[in-house]
Structure formats: structure tokens, C-alpha cells
Homo-oligomer: A and B are copies of this chain.
Amino acid sequence: MPAVATRVASELRLQIAEGALLPGAKLKEEALSEELGVSRNTVREAFAELASERLVVRQPNRGVFVASLEVSDIHDVYIVRRAIEVSAVRGGGSIESIAAVRAAVEEGKRAAKAGDSEGLGSANAHFHGALVAMAGSERLNVIMSQVLAEMRLFFHKASIDGGFYQDYLADNDQICKALEAGDNDLAAERLLSYLARSEEHQTAVHAS
């Protein structure tokens, strides 16, 4: 992807992740074109990239909108997560890749101690990314990073009730311990349990 279009896509990605652009918001080509000092065509190329990541949806002749996830999408996303995360965990990983998982757990602990709610969410994403990275597949990593980006779309609401990451922190530690002990099946079992609870939680938050 060309340099300028990539920059524009990154900028928009950032604004979506930060919540500056809320789900459902319309992205007008001309407005963005002026605001960012690039041509409409370049904005369009950026749109194409974001659309491929499902961060925006393109409605023909109507425009592009920041993706907004329905309750059914939540379930859909968790099906994907179960498939790739559990598969990666079952396959186990190298010493280094497990160390990366451990590092993400510790990162979460530090954030918890510092009361950094933002950092906790970030560490949790790193943890699950590290799980998938154990499989050593570039494609799987890309898929997972897109899934995590999609999840940020509804984390804004979910993270309101603080302290809900606390439980997950312990889960993550347990999963990591099982991996370090070489008991991949136990790790997978714990991960499945975590994912079930997480999905339930997210669904509950968004049903209201």
C-alpha cells in the first residue's frame, strides 16, 4: 500500500481505536480529504484498506461508516477466537513464544498494580496475540490482529465496569502456567472456559 494512503489509514485506525470516531459514524471523502490534506482518491484507497479489516463498512453509493457490531457479530467473533486461539494453544509453542505469553501476563499485572485500566486492556490483547503467535503462522497472526482490532470497537462500552479485567488476569496467569508446564490440553481447556465467560460478559453488556 502506498505511503500516503497507509498514513491516512493509520490515522483513521487510531481515531477509531481511541473512540474519536464512534461506531456508525459516517466518513465523508471530501471532508477527510481536506482535513488530512490529501486527495479524495487517496482517502478512497485508505477506505479500501480499512474495509478489508472490517473496521469500516462500505455501503455502495452511500458512503463508508465506522463498523458497528451487532450482538450476533460478537458471537461470530468469538467463534473465530475459539478456532484460532485454541488451536494455537493445543499445538503448543517454542520456549521463546511461551516467554512472550508470560511477558504479556506480567505486563497486565503491572498495569493492574498501577490502576491503569487502559493498559490492562492492552496487555490482555497482547496476551491473546501472543497465544496465537505460538502457532508461528503469519496468516494466523494477521487474522488475530484484525479480530483484536474489531474487539476494540465494543471494548469502549465494556471496559466501563472497572475491575472486570481483574478476573481475567488470574485466568491468563493460569493458562500461561499450564503452557509453561507443557500441559497444552489443560491450557486449552482453561482458555475455552475464559472465552465462554468473556463472550457471555460482552453479550450481556451489549444486550442492554
- On A, residues with C-beta under 8 Å from B are 1-3, 41, 44-45, 48-49, 51-52, 54, 58, 60, 76-77, 79-80, 82-84, 86-88, 135-140, 143, 147
B139 touching A76 by the CB < 8 A rule? Answer: yes
A48 touching B41 by the CB < 8 A rule? Answer: no
Output the nearest chain B residue to A53 by Cβ-Cβ distance. Answer: B52
Q: What separation, in Å, do the CA atoms of A30 and B157 have in the docked complex?
A: 47
Task: Name the prevailing secondary structure of the A interface residues.
Answer: helix
Output the nearest chain B residue to A150 by Cβ-Cβ distance. Answer: B139
Question: How many copies, total?
Answer: 2
* 24 pairs, CB–CB < 8 Å, chain A vs chain B: A1-B58, A1-B60, A3-B60, A41-B41, A45-B48, A48-B49, A48-B52, A49-B52, A76-B137, A76-B138, A76-B139, A79-B135, A79-B136, A79-B139, A80-B84, A80-B137, A80-B140, A80-B143, A82-B87, A83-B135, A84-B87, A86-B87, A87-B87, A139-B147
Q: What separation, in Å, do the CA atoms of A136 and B45 have in the docked complex?
A: 31
